[in-house]
């Protein structure tokens, strides 16, 4: 099973993440600072790419009730603020009785691979469902 969606990190979302995290690293806001270090402009927080992963895992694959066991991300190339990107998720392995899934994640933009990684998720059964099965 594979699902994908497009997203764009706007300046407003960058400001919201700065506020929520307290991470005021100027590489995410200051064009001169970012260009001095070889980037075309301010680059999106890795933490905001992971917020997209959070949306995907928590709402769609596997969805509501999902708990993260582990997350691994490699950040290959920077994503620029305002640039349209795509997050793709594919289930690589499932252990149905325990609700465990290994999900492969890929973020790309403009033909570039931005980031890739894997999440292991658990989908605990509600107690009422467990009791009904006993």
For residue 80, what are the contacts with CB-CB under 8 A and spacing of at least 6? 39, 40, 41, 42, 43, 44
Work out whether 36 is an interface residue with a second copy (CB under 8 A). yes
Work out whether 44 is an interface residue with a second copy (CB under 8 A). no
Q: What is the Cα–Cα distance from 120 to 96, expressed in whole angstroms?
A: 13
Among 96, 97, 111, 126, binds a second copy (CB under 8 A): 126
Work out whether 128 is an interface residue with a second copy (CB under 8 A). yes
Q: What is the Cα–Cα distance from 3 to 67, expressed in whole angstroms?
A: 19
54 to 93: interface string for a second copy, x by CB under 8 A:
xx-xxx---xxxxxxxxxxxxx--x---------------
At residue 54, φ and ψ (nearest 5 deg) are: -60, -45
Closer Cβ to a second copy, 11 or 70, answer by number: 70
Neighbours of 71 (CB within 10 A): 16
Q: Considering only the C-alpha atoms of the chain, give the largest distance between any 2 of them, rounded to a whole number of Å.
A: 63
Work out whether 101 is an interface residue with a second copy (CB under 8 A). no
Closer Cβ to a second copy, 13 or 104, answer by number: 13
Among 1, 3, 4, 16, binds a second copy (CB under 8 A): 16
């Amino acid at each position: 099973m594979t699902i994908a969606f497009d997203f764009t990190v706007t300046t407003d979302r960058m400001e919201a993440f700065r506020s929520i995290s307290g991470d005021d690293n100027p590489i995410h806001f200051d064009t001169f600072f970012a260009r001095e270090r070889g980037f075309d402009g301010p680059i999106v927080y890795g933490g905001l790419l992971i917020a997209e992963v959070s949306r995907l895992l928590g709402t769609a694959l596997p969805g509501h009730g999902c708990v993260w066991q582990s997350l691994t991300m490699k950040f290959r190339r920077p994503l620029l603020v305002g640039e349209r990107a795509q997050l793709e998720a594919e289930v690589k392995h499932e252990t149905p009785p325990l609700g465990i899934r290994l999900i492969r994640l890929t973020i790309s933009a403009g033909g570039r691979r931005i980031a890739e990684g894997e999440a292991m998720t658990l989908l605990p059964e509600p107690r009422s469902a467990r009791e009904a099965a006993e």
